[in-house]
Amino acid sequence: MYLPDHARLTPDKPAMISADSGAVVTYGQLDQRSNRVAQFLHARGLRRGDHIAVLMENNLAFMDPVWAGFRSGLYVTTINRYLPPDEAAYIVGDCGAKALITSYEKRETAAALAELIPNCPIRLMVGGTIPGWESYEDALAGASPEPLAQEWMGDSMLYSSGTTGRPKGILRPLPETTPAEGFATRQAVNRYGLTPDSVYLSPAPLYHAAPLAYVLSVQSFGGTVVMMERFDAEQALALIEKFHVTHSQWVPTMFVRMMKLPQEVRDRFDLSSHQVAIHAAAPCPVEVKRQMIEWWGPILYEYYAGTEGSGSTFITSEDWLEHPGSVGRAALGVLHICDENGAELPVGETGLVYFERETATFEYHNDPGKTADARHPQHPNWNALGDVGYLDKDGYLYLTDRKAFMIISGGVNIYPQAIEDLLVTHPKVADVAVFGIPHPEMGEAVKAVIEPAPGHAPTDELAQELLAYAKERLAHYMAPRSIDFIAEMPRLPTGKLYKRVLRDAYWTDRKI
């Protein structure tokens, strides 16, 4: 069963609830609205394999075009809602979108975007209109609520965050199946026990790969999604209690912010309904995850994967406690750790992480060079996501950092993640980024940029305290040589850190 089945059996059941307003979209409404979008796009000439794009805040209309695409064989590209108009236009143009759906809340971006996307003829706006955009509501009102005569399974084509360069579109072949068959295949692997009774808290932006995929999955099972418009640590806990949330998904920065709430706030809420807390996107600091398991119990489940779909790992709380710091063993594909020349490394040695599949699962849209760079030099069905790590004797993977963020100081390779994981546990630190900056003798020096925790001023005394804290707990070559402060870290709500933005300023200015 999937969306139309739930619309038939439980038409009045909430498919999605707005955490802020309490407004609801029922399964009956979601089914009809997605059909209307599919019918409208079909009438305007879109066919299987065409592309549409969505640029919207977390809005109750967000899933209408997503489900429409997945029911009519279209590729759906959801765009980072924080991008400036020129970067959003690049994605719309690169993916070849024939339709773009946005919202009145994003009207300033949309106004500047309109003249930058001449090859995207269909432009719909939810909740109001401005010149150059059609009314989404009017478009739906004139379209049939019935499903298309021929429905095909669609897919997403999402773009990497662009933290180290231009975002890349990740293109997978469309399945040769109907939506009913396609979702049945997806539901066959139900690792987290989703059912129609599941209540899923989604605290992250829906444009991101993981929240989008899990919302689709929960709704395909007939569960209810509680959508946060934006993450707030205390509100997230209150929502678990209020809606009897059973499932949720997080990124490590959210754990950090919840852990830094006063104890009396953390103890205020009844979290007994909570059965599964999934996390990914970045490795979680060991001490933070240990404290989360102590607080929530062994309900944390971690995976490591990429939008590319080239492979994944998985680990339970119990296994993690026996292998702290690991992101698990291979759940999809075969893991390999290789050096820069592609030679496979033995257990315990750090190198580039590859997943082996029977065939290559993706390509980077319009970029054969980047596609080739992601492949192993001798094995084209081995794909790398750009992460560095090692395997232990039991096959558990430990990530050390992104390859692009490695610091080379005096010929020694230093991975910032371990330094960041330590510093973020200090009670006066809210967030941290570590990277290399130019050094005349060593090549690079370790720099830490700190966002102080609320109530703590960015003083020289605090910098010295944090430097001493690091030196006492890290190898001497890993300890930061200097610390700068920042009011707010340039981190996306998905947990992704725009480290390149921070790092580039030091290299441009040759600041030490």
Which domains can be identified in the chain, with CATH numbers? Answer: 3-224 (3.40.50.12780), 406-509 (3.30.300.30)
How far apart are the C-alpha atoms of 358 and 139, rounded to whole Å? 43
Spatial distance between the Cα atoms of 279 and 292, rounded to a whole number of angstroms: 11
User: Side chain identity at 80, as an amino acid letter?
Assistant: N
Helices 63-71 & 179-187, crossing angle to 10 degrees? 110
DSSP state of 372: H
Return the pLDDT at 511: 42
Residues 326-361: tens digit of each pLDDT:
999 999 999 999 998 999 999 999 999 999 998 877
What is the predicted pLDDT for the residue at 497?
A: 80
Mean pLDDT by 10 residues, the chain (512 residues): 97 98 98 98 98 98 98 97 92 97 97 96 98 97 97 95 71 95 95 97 94 97 97 97 98 90 96 97 86 98 90 97 96 95 95 92 89 91 91 95 76 82 93 88 87 95 96 88 94 74 74 40
What does the pLDDT read at residue 176?
A: 95
What the block records as the tokens of 435 is: 């990277």
Q: Which residues, 6 or more positions from 287, have their beta carbon under 8 angstroms from its beta carbon? A: 421, 425
pLDDT on residue 512: 38
Separation between Cα atoms, residue 356 and residue 410, nearest integer Å = 34
Q: Burial letters for 447-464: b for 16+ Cβ neighbours within 10 Å, e otherwise?
A: bbbbbbeeebeeeeebbe
Counting Cβ atoms within 10 Å, is residue 196 exposed (0-12), middle (13-18) or buried (19+)?
A: middle
| CB-side neighbour CA atoms (13 Å) of 146 | 4
Beta bridge partners of 201: 226, 248
Q: Which ranges of 96-178 does DSSP label H, i.e. alpha helix?
A: 107-113, 136-141
pLDDT at position 496: 73
Phi/psi at 215 (5° precision): -65, -45
